[in-house]
Chains A and B, each alone.
Chain A
Amino acid sequence: MTALPETTDRKLGLVIDLDTCVGCHACVISCKGWNTENYGAPLADTDPYGADPSGTYLNRVHSYEIQPNDGPAQLVHFPKSCLHCEDAPCVTVCPTGASYKRSEDGIVLVNEQDCIGCGLCAWACPYGAREMDPAAGVMKKCTLCVDRIYNENLPEEDREPACVRTCPAGARHFGDFADPDSHVSKLTADRGGMDLMPEQGTKPVNQYLPPRARDAQMQPPALKPVAEDAKGFVGWLDKALSRVGGG
């Protein structure tokens, strides 16, 4: 069971556009909402209104500052969830077979009835995509909203992951990477989609689109010095203050 499938018929996953993401965390909230109300154990919060709130999330948005050698710093918002890796190290370490990768669509899932909560899969994941639920004692992770994408009770436009459906900026895309003509495959090819931590050898399915190069210098020009040859009251003030010293 915890052996990885040789190949998968489809490779479902996400494209995350770091150029477009505005860091609003709407995907975080909609993910938490959907996955608390639906498939599996709810995502617990501990001490939510107290001094030390903490909770289980399947999707978190970091923010990074990039400081180039020349030019102004750039802020990049960085959503991170399970990348549904082809060589998922979290699956093979599982002692019970609770963790598995589906051969039909490549989604990595946890069968919560079999999970003993040993935490080894979270150790094996370099991305921090798995979190142990403090209330249920089982491992939680992104399911790619497996209970939405095939759900015929939902209107067709809702049959995509909650994070993608809710993103107001259109920074998240869902599709099949095994199909070279799919929306996500084309986006990845056009925009130079990249793997996170390629040296870890996980072969992630999810792809990240790098921010586009800036087309204009964003740094505002420095303010001009005021009244270098000031006359009248301002001139007198300048001289008087200069005598006091301190620039």
Chain B
Amino acid sequence: MHPAPSVILFTSLSGLGFGLLVWLGLGVLAPTGWVAFVFFTIAYLLAVGGLMASTFHLGHPERALKAFTQWRTSWLSREAWASVAALVLMALYGAGLVFFASRWAVLGYLGAALSLLTVITTSMIYAQMRTVPRWNNPTTPAMFLSYSLAGGALLAGEVTIAIWLLTIAVVAQVAHWVVGDRALAGSGTTIASATGLGDRGAVRSFEPPHTGTNYLMDEFIHVVGRKHRVTLRAIALISGLLMPSLILLAGVGHLLAAVAVLLHLVGVFASRWLFFAEAEHVVGLYYGKR
């Protein structure tokens, strides 16, 4: 799959933002006044910034409101509802903390649940794709959720929770790679089933439909980004998950925490790049590629 920068930015940043909102909503940290203002500003910049970035890949962003209509069947539509509902409730909850120094707990719990739901709906947009076997399994939501909650805890400065969740994220991330590397072969979809000609002999793409490239090949058959997969996997694991854990174990100051967050962000970007670049869409089989 083509690793579009807008979608990588969106899933990474809004994942972090909604992760932070979960911990704020649960009251794991309940700052008030200016401190609350700073926390909520960071969470909203990330969550809303990510959502804005996601509209850049739309052909007609001016029609985006129509995406709220099909929540019965579409995970993308559900994501639109969950994110807006979470942002509205958490804004009210945040106003209570910032302006009235009071924690409206029920609102917070609801907002936290909706923030969590937003991350789940994002992950399900990918996990539902039967056409991309690497995504079509439970490791996709597990990875999105653990990254989001770990990053949120890191931003919230919740050391113990962050270390535990970073460890869980390592497991989810490695599981996603291990399961994903075998997924296409295990899906049963091959050039033989794609053409229906497999029982006659070995099928090989002899001539593509056109001499040039096309939308399908640009969008679904991305091979360049996979070249550095080992390096990028190492960056995702070491910079994104292990280094922040070690820094937290060593002790936290504000500066060190900022370094941990930045390292984590670099790792998340590497992981998300690979999430798309490594994903093989079955349509590639028609072109003799993967």
Residues of A within 8 A of B208 (CB): 62
Expressed in whole angstroms, the Cα–Cα distance for A144 and B234 within the complex equals 49
Residue of A nearest to B68 (CB): A95
Chain B residues in 8 Å Cβ range of A56: 215
- Contact between chains at B194 and A138 (CB < 8 Å): no
Q: Which residues of A contact B207 (CB under 8 A)?
A: 62-63
In the docked arrangement, what's the CA distance between A53 and B193, Å?
Answer: 30
Chain A 46-83 interface mask (CB, 8 Å, partner B; 1/0): 00000011111100111111111100011110101000
Residues of A in contact (CB 8 Å), total: 68
B215 close to A131 (CB less than 8 A): yes
Task: Report if A94 contacts B (CB, 8 A).
Answer: yes
Is B76's CB within 8 Å of the partner chain A? yes
Q: Is the CB of B69 within 8 A of A125?
A: no
**Contact across chains for A74 and B200 when beta carbons are under 8 A apart:** yes
Residues of B within 8 A of A196 (CB): 193-196
Contacts of B130 in A (CB 8 A): 89, 124, 126, 200-201
Whole-angstrom distance between the Cβ of A240 and the nearest chain B Cβ: 44
Q: State whether B193 touches A198 (Cβ < 8 A).
A: yes
Given the contacts A117-B60, A124-B129, A63 and B206 also touching, CB distance less than 8 Å: yes
Q: Does A175 sit at the interface, judged by CB under 8 A?
A: no
Which B residues are in CB contact (< 8 Å) with A94?
Answer: 70, 73-74
Is B228 part of the binding interface, using a Cβ–Cβ cutoff of 8 Å?
no
User: What number of A-B contacts does a CB cutoff of 8 Å give?
Assistant: 195
Contacts of A137 in B (CB 8 A): 58-60
Q: How far is the CA of A122 from the CA of B214 in the complex (A)?
A: 13
Q: How far is the CA of A56 from the CA of B207 in the complex (A)?
A: 18
Determine if A210 is an interface residue (Cβ-Cβ < 8 Å).
yes
Distance of A138 Cα from B212 Cα, bound (Å): 21
Asked if A96 lies at the interface with its beta carbon under 8 angstroms from chain B, I say yes
Q: Chain B contacts of A154 at CB under 8 A?
A: none
A64 touches B205 (CB 8 A): yes
Partner of A68, one of B67, B132, B196, B200: B200
Query: A63: nearest residue on chain B (CB-CB)?
Result: B207
Indicate whether A28 reaches chain B with its CB closer than 8 angstroms: yes
Query: What are 9 A-B residue pairs whose CB atoms fall within 8 Å in the complex?
Result: A52-B213, A60-B209, A63-B206, A66-B204, A68-B201, A96-B77, A123-B132, A126-B130, A200-B189
Which residues of A are at the interface with B, using a C-beta cutoff of 8 A? 1-3, 18, 28, 52-57, 60-69, 73-76, 78, 80, 89, 91-98, 114-120, 122-128, 131-134, 136-138, 194-201, 208, 210-211
List the 8 closest A-B pairs by CB distance, nearest first: A117-B59, A137-B59, A68-B201, A60-B209, A96-B66, A128-B283, A95-B67, A95-B76
